[in-house]
């Protein structure tokens, strides 16, 4: 107690002392370990966690205590990126505690690394040790960041007028990860000491712990002997000794066989690591090896039977196996403190919505098939032979859909959808289906309350690619955005059927079908869904000029189901019942590896992508 030279610390530290809580507010708890040395004090910021509450262990609390290093640990009640109104007051109180130390180090991983660099100076630190930090998750500041849903609910009050960052930040990160873009954003604000590692994943802490490099680095930072270049060389040289290395490569691989091989190698390097076992379970299930998957989950359960990671992956495997009730039950057993506001809650909500949707769809199809379609009594359908073969030819189908729409509109009455008489592949994309998720219902209800009562220039109809289209891109046009994220063609059809009156719009733009492609629907089915959708738009927007955006490239390397997608687009382009625009060449004019027109998920468009598309489509209406 009271030593002032960290160089004299013993190789084998004594038993860990007991920490004392300094103070807490409604959102923050601060715990302090003190009395070991005046030479150095770490102030740690907790990382993103599914375990809510203020009574959990702080970041690196056990390690620093066992190694006799004074430390102050900041623990928050939620994953709010330290954006509480009273946070600056908390930092000021901590700064009073650190005033007597020779050196203060702000320390954190991911969300904690973000705080260590941004707020370290406020707690008395000039130096930050940050593992895989974010510069921000505010979409306005980092539009490329899409890994945290919290960005939509957080008010970034401490970024509007940010305090000065720490003088120096030692940043450990994966150079092949999205984290590298965040590191570059820090450079104008602080002196960055890079430790760029290869394929260590996010966060890099697990990789470094496996190689005993994180523990060594923390002690060297405390002593002032940290060598960034040596750590970088050692991390690269020994990377194949870490299971995290193979797990990261597994998650980045697009080859199913290679992914399975890498998942198995990760487990070999960490047989008791539940993350590696759970990942193997999910990868095996995706490959159809459910026996291997359940065996891996059972091994996880032997290690940590109630762990939320184990439950999450068990739910994932059961869903892939077709056991939706089992998938839901696996998550319902997770303790509430883990579920609240975390990924488990979002998954549980999605599974329940999916179960409800499938139940409703089954009921609707059963009812439709048991009731005779009045349209089948018409001379038109008696004289129309059913095409031979197991699958309809899409071009014949388009013509048939258009004829049915003309006939229905001529009678000025809405009949039961034609899809009740068609094969299942066509029913699923054309039979009106209600919104799939709670968020879909909420947006749909909001849209119905705000339907335009005066003529407008443009209505956007479709899925998330439509919903996220900035209305400002169309200025000075008056725009009504009728897009809803996650919608497939059948959902858009249902929503259009919910309109109680026609809408006066000069133009209508339709962009739908990408989610059907992702759901595994057939090309013929997707064409049928878009054709039926165009008919609904014609009825609800009788005076509008309609343009359909052909399905754009998406997915890894922008080649997801590319042959099917191009076949769909060719049939749409050949149809004479609507105008279409193909955007492949324009969007793919950039480098695939850093395409400025797409978000990192390679599905949704960036602001630059929307500007490009807006210009192309405006030309069609000039």
User: Is the predicted pLDDT of residue 143 greater than 70, yes or no?
Assistant: yes
Task: Quote the pLDDT of residue 369.
Answer: 46
Q: DSSP 3-state assignment of 560?
A: coil
Task: Quote the pLDDT of residue 406.
Answer: 43
Q: How far is CA 479 from the centre of its chain?
A: 28
284-320 CB burial, b ≥16 within 10 A, e <16: bbbbebbebbbebbebbbeeeeebbbbbbbbbbbbbb
Percent of the chain whose predicted confidence (pLDDT) is above 90: 48
**Confidence grade of residue 360 (pLDDT, cut at 50, 70, 90):** low
User: Is the predicted pLDDT of residue 394 greater than 90, yes or no?
Assistant: no
- DSSP string computed for 215-256: HHHHHHHHHT---HHHHHHHHHHTGGG-HHHHHHHHHH---H
Nearest to 267 by CA among 246, 288, 298, 237: 246
Q: What is the pLDDT of residues 189-203, one digit of tens each?
A: 999 999 999 999 999
**Confidence grade of residue 367 (pLDDT, cut at 50, 70, 90):** low
Across residues 24-35, what is the average pLDDT?
90
Length of the chain counted residue by residue: 622
Q: Euclidean distance between the first and final Cα of the chain, in Å? A: 80
**The listed CATH number (3.30.70.20, 3.30.70.3450, 3.40.50.1110, 1.25.40.10) that belongs to domain 268-353:** 1.25.40.10
Task: Quote the pLDDT of residue 371.
Answer: 46
Task: Quote the pLDDT of residue 90.
Answer: 95
User: Is the predicted pLDDT of residue 386 greater than 70, yes or no?
Assistant: no
Nearest to 493 by CA among 521, 456, 531: 531
Could you tell me the CA-to-CA distances from 156 to 150, 204, 515 in Å, in that order?
11, 25, 32
Stretch(es) of the chain classified as CATH 1.25.40.10:
268-353
CATH number of 6-238: 3.40.50
Look at strands 20-24 and 28-33 and give their pairing. antiparallel
Q: Radius of gyration over alpha carbons of the chain, in Å?
A: 29
User: Do 588 and 543 touch, CB atoms closer than 8 A?
Assistant: no
Task: Quote the pLDDT of residue 145.
Answer: 86
User: Do 457 and 478 touch, CB atoms closer than 8 A?
Assistant: yes
Stretch(es) of the chain classified as CATH 3.40.50.1110:
428-620
CATH number of 428-620: 3.40.50.1110
User: Do 621 and 579 touch, CB atoms closer than 8 A?
Assistant: no
Task: Quote the pLDDT of residue 375.
Answer: 39
**pTM over cut 0.85:** no
User: Is the predicted pLDDT of residue 494 greater than 90, yes or no?
Assistant: yes
Could you tell me the CA-to-CA distances from 16 to 65, 67, 209, 616 in Å, in that order?
6, 8, 20, 66
Which element (helix H / strand E) includes 282? helix 274-286
Task: Quote the pLDDT of residue 403.
Answer: 47
Compute φ and ψ for 547, nearest 5 degrees: -130, 130
Q: How far is CA 542 from the centre of its chain?
A: 38
Q: DSSP 3-state assignment of 622?
A: coil
């Amino acid at each position: 107690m009271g030593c002032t030279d960290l160089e004299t610390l013993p190789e084998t530290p004594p038993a860990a002392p007991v920490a004392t809580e300094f103070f807490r507010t409604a959102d923050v708890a601060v715990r302090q370990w003190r009395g070991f040395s005046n030479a150095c004090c770490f102030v740690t910021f907790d990382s993103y966690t599914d375990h809510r509450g203020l009574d959990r262990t702080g970041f690196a609390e056990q390690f620093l205590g066992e190694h006799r290093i004074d430390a102050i640990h900041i623990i928050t009640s939620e994953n709010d990126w330290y954006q509480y109104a009273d946070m600056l007051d908390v930092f000021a109180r901590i700064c009073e505690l650190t005033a007597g130390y020779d050196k203060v180090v702000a320390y954190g991983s991911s969300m904690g690394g973000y705080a260590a660099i941004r707020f370290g100076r406020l707690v008395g630190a000039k130096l930050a040790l940050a593992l895989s930090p974010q510069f921000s998750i505010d979409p306005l500041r980092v539009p490329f960041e899409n890994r945290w849903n919290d960005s939509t609910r957080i008010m970034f009050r401490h970024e509007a007028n940010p305090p000065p960052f720490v003088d120096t930040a030692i940043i450990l990160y994966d150079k092949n990860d999205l984290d590298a873009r965040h590191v570059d954003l820090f450079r104008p604000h602080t002196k960055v000491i890079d430790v760029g590692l290869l394929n260590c994943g996010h966060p890099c802490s697990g990789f470094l712990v496996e190689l005993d490099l994180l523990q060594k680095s923390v002690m060297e930072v405390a002593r002032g002997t940290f060598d960034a270049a040596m750590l970088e060389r050692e991390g690269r040289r020994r990377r194949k000794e870490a299971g995290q290395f193979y797990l990261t490569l597994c998650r980045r691989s697009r080859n199913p066989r290679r992914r399975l091989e890498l998942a198995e190698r990760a487990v070999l390097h960490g047989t008791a690591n539940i993350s590696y076992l759970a990942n193997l379970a999910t990868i095996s299930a995706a490959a159809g090896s459910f026996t291997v998957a359940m065996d891996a989950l059972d091994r996880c359960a032997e290690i940590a039977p109630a762990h939320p990671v184990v439950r999450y992956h068990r739910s994932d495997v059961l869903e892939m196996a077709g056991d939706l009730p089992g998938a839901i039950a696996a998550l319902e057993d997770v303790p509430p403190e883990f579920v609240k506001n975390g990924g488990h809650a979002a998954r549980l909500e999605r599974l329940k919505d999916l179960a409800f949707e499938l139940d409703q769809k089954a009921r609707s199809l059963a009812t439709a098939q048991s009731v005779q379609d009045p349209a089948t009594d018409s001379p038109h359908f008696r004289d129309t032979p059913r095409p031979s073969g197991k699958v309809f030819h899409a071009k014949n189908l388009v013509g048939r859909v258009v004829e049915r729409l003309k006939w229905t509109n001529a009678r000025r009455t809405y009949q039961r959808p034609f899809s009740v008489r068609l094969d299942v592949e066509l029913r699923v994309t054309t039979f009106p289906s209600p919104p799939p998720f709670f968020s879909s219902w909420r947006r749909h209800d909001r849209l119905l309350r705000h339907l335009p009562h005066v003529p407008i220039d443009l209505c956007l109809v479709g899925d998330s690619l439509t919903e996220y289209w900035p209305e400002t891109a169309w200025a000075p046009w008056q725009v009504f955005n009728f897009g809803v994220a996650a919608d497939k063609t059948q959902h858009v059809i249902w929503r259009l059927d919910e309109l109680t009156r026609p809408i006066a719009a000069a133009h209508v733009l339709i962009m739908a079908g990408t989610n059907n492609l992702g759901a595994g629907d057939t090309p013929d089915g997707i064409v049928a869904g878009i054709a039926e959708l165009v008919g609904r738009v014609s009825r609800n927007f009788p005076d509008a000029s309609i343009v359909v955006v052909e399905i754009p490239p998406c997915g890894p390397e922008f080649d997801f189901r590319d042959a099917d997608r191009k076949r769909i687009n060719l049939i749409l382009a050949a149809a004479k019942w609507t105008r279409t625009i193909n955007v492949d060449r324009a969007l793919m004019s950039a480098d695939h590896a850093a395409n400025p027109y797409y978000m990192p998920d390679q599905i949704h468009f960036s602001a630059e992508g929307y500007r490009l598309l807006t210009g192309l489509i405006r030309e069609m209406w000039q």
